Amino acid sequence: MTVVVALVGVPGAGKSTIGHELAQLLGVGFVDSDELIQLREARSVSDIFIDDGEEAFRAIEREVVAEALSSADGVLALGGGAVLDPGTRELLGAVPTVWLTVESDTAVKRVGLNAPRPMLLGNVRGQLKALAEVRKPFYTEVSNATIDTTDQTPEQVCGAIVEALGLTPTTKD
């Protein structure tokens, strides 16, 4: 097997939640690149940002995502900033990729105002809007489909992904 679907989007778009649900629906595995980074480094993403800086984190992320895209089976959720790397975007060209969008108010509710997310320090709503604007061209570049998760249940989003990509859910007896 290989990566069946990669999910991209800003924090709070639902990549991990949808990824788990979609993997179950398709009868495949699920991998989150941030979790892989934390396992590899034996510390949190926030700690890497604080201790080593964003540049060091992005270098680790680039390696982990490249490895996951070549070896993971099933659904892969990428950290929101993974698409900033040109090499990652190139690798995503070979994988069905879905951009999960979300309105900023909904994203704020999902991540919380005190969430330990290094890219959202300070004004969470303002940071999310700024991240979305900067990353929009990259999400557009890599995505085969765009699904808005704002007022959708995970089941509805998964159904839209299956339909958009022509995937076949597993049947449950």
Listed by start position, the domains of the chain span 3-165
Which of 2-6, 55-59, 86-90, 104-108 shows the lowest per-residue confidence on average (mean pLDDT)? 104-108
SS3 45: helix
At the fourth CATH level, which superfamily is domain 3-165? Answer: P-loop containing nucleotide triphosphate hydrolases (3.40.50.300)
Q: Write the CB contacts of 77 (distance below 8 Å, at least 6 apart in sequence).
A: 6, 7, 15, 16, 18, 19, 30, 31, 32, 33, 34
Residue-wise pLDDT tens digits, 52-95: 988 999 999 999 999 999 998 899 999 989 999 999 999 999 99
The beta-strand segments (E) located in 3-142 are 3-8, 30-32, 74-77, 97-101
Residues 154 and 131: their CA atoms lie apart, in Å, by 23
- Other beta carbons within 10 angstroms of residue 83's beta carbon come to 26
Residues 145 and 87: their CA atoms lie apart, in Å, by 20
